Structure 1
């Protein structure tokens, strides 16, 4: 897809929740705004999103997807099944692993 893994994660969050403030996107991805800002600039430069001042709060940046950014979603939807197939593990095992890792992440955050 021509995206780094962190850029892909940003796009996943935006496909699910856009428009988002930089602050909210930072919270969702558990990334520092200083780390997130260069990712957003690169994604804006390649035409997948726009960073604009939020009309409701001029101090906040609103992140919205462009038409090209939205259309990339159909290509991205092919990735999870391909990963599952390549891993060659039963879906139940992958779901169990996902649940365990989600608990680890939650424990580390608190």
Structure 2
């Protein structure tokens, strides 16, 4: 019995959807001078700050799923653009705390509104943000994201 897939694999579909989303967000945010990755960092920081916290770069990396080194690079660029501030943590000399500037908060609010419009378009076939199918999708994606993946040490032999 053949294990050849009949049509696209789930992995391929997840990758294609992620690429479709990234490209759409990049295009929507280009007028604001932001990339999808910068948006992910700013929007996450915006959400955390609204709850009264000032996260470290490491905490934001964990929250976004981005590599800590990449978050550091993004934060430096966003700092140079006047959108966020980086400060040494007085309690831990190795940690850097991040906060949005006034300009950063305004830019992030505008970016969130644009991305929200895209999300409405994407989820319309599932009944929109409040649709039952969207709820199922969110639960299933969360299950997959919460599942640890161990990288195989050796490729299978033929």
Query: What range describes the TM-score normalised by the shorter chain of this pair?
Result: 0.7 to 0.9
Q: Distance in 1 between matches of 2:65 and 2:119?
A: 25
Q: How many residues align?
A: 110
- The alignment yields a C-alpha RMSD, in angstroms, of 1.9
Report if the CA contact (8 A) 2:56-2:97 is conserved.
yes
Which structure is larger by alpha-carbon Rg, 1 or 2?
Answer: 2
Q: TM-score, with normalisation over the residues of structure 1?
A: 0.85
Taking the TM superposition and a 5 Å limit, the aligned residue runs for 1:1-110 are: 1-18=32-49, 19-87=54-122, 88-89=124-125, 90-91=127-128, 92=131, 93-108=133-148
| Greater RCO (CA < 8 Å, at least 6 residues apart) | 1
Q: TM-score, with normalisation over the residues of structure 2?
A: 0.62
What is the deviation of 1:2? 2.2
Which consecutive unaligned segments of at least 5 residues does structure 1 have?
none
What is the deviation of 1:31? 2.0
Report if the CA contact (8 A) 2:79-2:85 is conserved.
yes
Report if the CA contact (8 A) 2:43-2:112 is conserved.
no
- Structure having the larger proportion of residues in strand: 1
Q: Distance in 1 between matches of 2:36 and 2:116?
A: 17
2:147 counterpart SS class: helix
